[in-house]
Amino acid sequence: MADAKAKIALELNGEPVEVAFAPHKTLLEVLREDLGLTGTKHGCELGECGTCTVLVDGTPVLSCLVLGLACAGHRVKTVEGMAERGTLHPLQEAFAELGAAQCGYCTPAFLLAAEALLATDPSPTRDDIKLALSGNLCRCTGYIKIYEAVELAAARMRGEDAKPAPETLYGVQ
């Protein structure tokens, strides 16, 4: 019944890691169950919601449909790898500031999808952001605070001294 475990080496959040797991496990399961990184969530395990998004070699993918074995030798980044030395990533900072994380369940996925977007396009338009995040479902926010947070983070990452617009936080007066 239980298959012999397979062992792979990969780069996880910037560090070399070796992990052994049942060979049919997906990256999602390996991260959560064999590596203890429960920041990666799941909403369907069928590739239909985007909640399990992680970066593999910098590209956002659905960890519920990637085999753990296929990650041998690759770079994997999860939400746990975003903050560096105790400092939040600008996206994390902006999501927290604007309330772009309500229940927080889809948040890790949105953060990583947004990070991948900003890595290739530092100045995305609102439509670019909508397209890039169109594979991630959120039921709480209506996405609006998420767009605004991505825009705020992008501006700050470009070196601008950006602050949230008053109507973002207080509505139109």
Residue ranges in 33-92 that form contacts with another protein under rule CB under 8 A:
33, 36-51, 53, 59-62, 65-67, 69-70, 78-80, 82-83, 88, 91-92
Q: Which residues contact 69 (CB under 8 A, 6 or more apart)?
A: 6, 8, 23
Sheet containing 6-12: give its strands across.
Answer: 15-21, 6-12, 75-77, 53-56, 59-62
Q: Which is nearer to another protein, 104 or 122 (CB)?
A: 104
3-state helix, strand, coil split of the chain in percent (to 5) is 40, 15, 45
| Per-residue binding letters, 102-131, with another protein (x by CB under 8 A) | xxxxxxx--x-x---------------xxx
124 to 23, 29, 100, 111, 144: CA distances (angstroms): 39, 33, 18, 15, 15
Interface with another protein in residues 133-162 (CB under 8 A): 133-145, 147
* Minimum distance, C-beta of residue 136 to another protein, in the bound complex (Å): 7
By C-alpha distance, which of 93, 100, 159 is closest to 129?
100
Q: Which is nearer to another protein, 11 or 128 (CB)?
A: 128
* Total of chain residues touching another protein, rule CB under 8 A: 86
* Minimum distance, C-beta of residue 158 to another protein, in the bound complex (Å): 20
Per CB under 8 A, does 13 bind another protein? no
